């Protein structure tokens, strides 16, 4: 059953955009239901070789010696690959966008930083022979102290996880060890709040668990080229990474993506393609490198764990006067996409609420866990959970219905967000009203009359006068953005006003919502801009949706 609420924001709707509710056929549905959709593993080659990796049993250890002599003599073994065989054995995905430093080896040579990190790769005639040879490789390790908790990792004297970042914190723009946001003066607002509400929120790593595990098949082509069939979600990311690590022009690489058997973010920064291509280069034969289910679960990069501390200063009537965030994002042993997740997260604060004083410090932290990567809205999902759990805690502290608390504090059109952007096309108030209606939650007349279209802007759309400035007088705020003007001059934001029932008349463009009626039967349905960043690189400026303007 699909219900359309066309009475909301009718002046902003375009009813030509009406695909929802129609039985529109997906382009790939016939291939899926007939079993003809081509996946990377459907491309079979005569003489195909198989690659399996030797993996560290330690969270953190120094590699003293790798003995491959016995493995090289095993039946079916064609080649044993070590870090020295990789032309450029250090990478980080976002370096393709001039963001971050190369920190992760394809095959580790001197140290391992997480359990399961690969130190050698066997290329053999069959998968069974490759697995047997993996067991024959002898690696001498010197176990090192390890750290698995983000706050322990940033304490003085903690084990150094990633030598590129000796403080166990990612460094932004070559000098900042965190992302920050400053808006208004939270300490002053805390001093006049009627309630102080604090909370700690922890999210665990989550494996994407696609039905098709990560993998790639590479084979020599004519003209000194190589074809690579891959399950990657980011075909050009994977192409650029392979060209970089193998130090060859991308024109020599023919990448074929096709159907992905589930990814959810976990196949964005796959490292299977470079190793499969390297095997094909060194043996002259097609090579397949794919994880089994155990590897997918153990060393597949998960959604990163997050820890958030939130402190609110709240007025007696439920208005949030100030919100302070301290966040730790667990990157695992290497950077992958975690540094970007924090940019997304800080750009999203303080959630969909107009709060006149906001403070945030968020850290990308290295631990001896499996490196983290993307998963379905990463950077936003975890902090949204923390924010909304905290809103329920605030509602309990002030004795308000949690839905009415959200309506009271929600963005209205024209409000200024804490990262210096004007709120527009807001709809949280209306969403809350519909949720209350469907859930049978009684709202006060003022909450029922509230709308996102009025009471925004004005003083609520100006930069608070007490917003901190840096030593040069510029507004101190979100790293990487030059938001706002020089400090001072703007008056303090007005208190957030709860609408009265008469306010509905002030928004004639939005017709009053009729009483809810169950929808008639309908046909069955068919199956962030990130803030800008500075990069001190040479060359011409080019815009990137990830890091803002960057240099070629």
Q: What's the helix, strand, coil split of the chain in %, to 5?
A: 25, 20, 55
Lowest mean pLDDT among 42-46, 181-185, 217-221, 481-485: 481-485
Q: Outline where DSSP puts E strands in 92-235.
A: 111-112, 118-124, 138-143, 179-183, 195-203, 215-220, 226-230
One CATH from 3.30.365.10, 3.90.320.10, 2.40.128.260, 3.40.50.620 for 150-203+304-461: 3.30.365.10
Partners of 543 in beta bridges: 549
- Per-domain residue ranges for the chain? 49-144+208-298, 150-203+304-461, 514-552
The predicted pLDDT at position 8 comes to 84
In tens, the pLDDT along 256-297 reads: 998 999 999 999 998 999 999 999 999 999 999 999 999 999
Given this chain, do its domains 49-144+208-298 and 150-203+304-461 carry the same CATH topology?
no
Q: Report the C-alpha gap between 545 and 271 in whole angstroms.
A: 23
In tens, the pLDDT along 312-366 reads: 999 999 999 999 999 999 999 999 999 999 999 999 999 999 999 999 999 999 9
Helices 402-409 and 428-439 pack at an angle, to 10 degrees, of 160
Q: Report the C-alpha gap between 371 and 302 in whole angstroms.
A: 7
State the pTM of this model. Answer: 0.85
Q: Indicate the average pLDDT of the chain.
A: 87
Measuring CA to CA, which residue among 296, 372, 334 is closest to residue 53?
Answer: 296
The predicted pLDDT at position 70 comes to 98
Q: Report the C-alpha gap between 409 and 390 in whole angstroms.
A: 13
In tens, the pLDDT along 489-547 reads: 333 334 434 444 344 444 434 434 334 344 344 443 444 343 333 333 333 333 333 44
3-state secondary structure 7-60: CCCHHHCCCCCCCCCCCCCCCCHHHHHHCCCCCHHHCCCCCCEEEEEEECCCCC
Lowest mean pLDDT among 56-60, 65-69, 438-442, 531-535: 531-535
Q: In Å, how far are 168, 232, 303, 518 from 206, measured between CA atoms?
A: 22, 19, 5, 38
Decide which of 498 and 474 is more confident: 474
The predicted pLDDT at position 467 comes to 87
The CATH classification number of 49-144+208-298 equals: 3.90.1170.50
In tens, the pLDDT along 428-444 reads: 999 999 999 999 999 99
């Amino acid at each position: 059953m699909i219900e359309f609420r066309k009475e909301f924001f009718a002046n902003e709707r375009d009813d030509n955009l009406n695909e929802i509710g129609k039985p529109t056929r997906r382009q790939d549905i016939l291939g899926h239901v007939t079993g003809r959709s081509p996946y990377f593993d459907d491309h079979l080659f005569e003489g195909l070789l198989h690659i399996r990796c030797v993996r560290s049993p330690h969270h953190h250890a120094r590699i003293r010696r790798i003995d491959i002599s016995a493995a090289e003599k095993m039946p079916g073994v064609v080649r044993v690959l070590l870090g020295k065989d990789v032309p450029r054995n250090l990478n980080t995905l976002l370096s393709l966008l001039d963001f971050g430093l190369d920190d992760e080896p394809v095959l580790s040579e001197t140290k391992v930083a997480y359990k399961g990190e690969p130190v050698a790769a066997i290329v053999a005639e069959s998968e069974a022979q490759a697995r047997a040879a993996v067991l024959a490789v002898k690696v001498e390790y010197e176990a090192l102290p390890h750290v698995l908790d983000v706050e322990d990792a940033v304490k003085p004297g903690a084990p150094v996880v990633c030598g590129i970042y000796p403080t166990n914190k990612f460094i932004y723009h070559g000098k900042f060890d965190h992302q920050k946001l400053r808006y208004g003066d939270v300490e002053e607002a805390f001093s006049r709040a009627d309630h102080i509400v604090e909370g700690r929120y922890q999210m665990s790593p989550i494996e994407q668990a696609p039905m098709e595990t990560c993998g790639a098949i590479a084979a020599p082509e004519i003209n000194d080229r190589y074809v690579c069939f891959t399950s990657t979600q980011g075909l050009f990311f994977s192409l650029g990474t392979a060209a970089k690590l193998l130090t060859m022009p991308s024109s020599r690489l023919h990448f074929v993506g096709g159907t992905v058997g589930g990814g959810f973010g976990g196949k964005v920064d796959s490292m299977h393609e470079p190793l499969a291509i390297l095997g094909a280069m060194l043996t002259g034969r097609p090579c397949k490198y794919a994880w089994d289910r155990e590897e997918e679960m153990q060393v597949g990069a998960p959604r990163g764990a997050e820890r958030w501390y939130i402190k609110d200063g709240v007025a007696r009537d439920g208005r949030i006067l100030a919100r302070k965030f301290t966040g730790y994002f667990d990157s695992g042993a290497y950077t992958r996409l975690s540094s970007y997740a924090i940019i997304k997260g800080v750009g999203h604060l303080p959630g969909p609420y107009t709060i006149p004083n906001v403070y945030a410090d968020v850290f990308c932290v290295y631990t001896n866990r499996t490196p983290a990567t993307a998963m379905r809205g990463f950077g936003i999902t975890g902090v949204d959970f923390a924010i909304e759990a905290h809103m329920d805690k605030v509602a309990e502290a002030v004795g308000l219905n949690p839905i009415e608390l959200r309506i009271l504090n929600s963005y209205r059109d024209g409000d200024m967000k804490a990262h210096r952007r004007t709120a527009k096309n807001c709809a949280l108030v209306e969403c809350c009203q519909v949720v209350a209606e469907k859930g049978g939650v009684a709202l006060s007349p003022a909450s029922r009359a509230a709308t996102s279209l009025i009471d925004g802007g004005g003083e609520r759309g100006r930069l608070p006068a007490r917003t901190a400035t840096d030593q040069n007088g510029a507004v101190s705020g979100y790293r990487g953005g030059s938001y706002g003007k020089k400090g001072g001059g703007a008056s303090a934001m007005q208190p957030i006003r709860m609408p009265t029932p008469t306010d509905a008349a002030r928004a004639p463009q939005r017709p009053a919502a009729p009483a809810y009626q169950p929808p008639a039967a309908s046909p069955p349905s068919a199956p962030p801009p990130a803030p800008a960043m500075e990069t001190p690189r040479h060359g011409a400026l080019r815009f990137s949706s990830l890091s803002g303007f960057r240099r070629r």
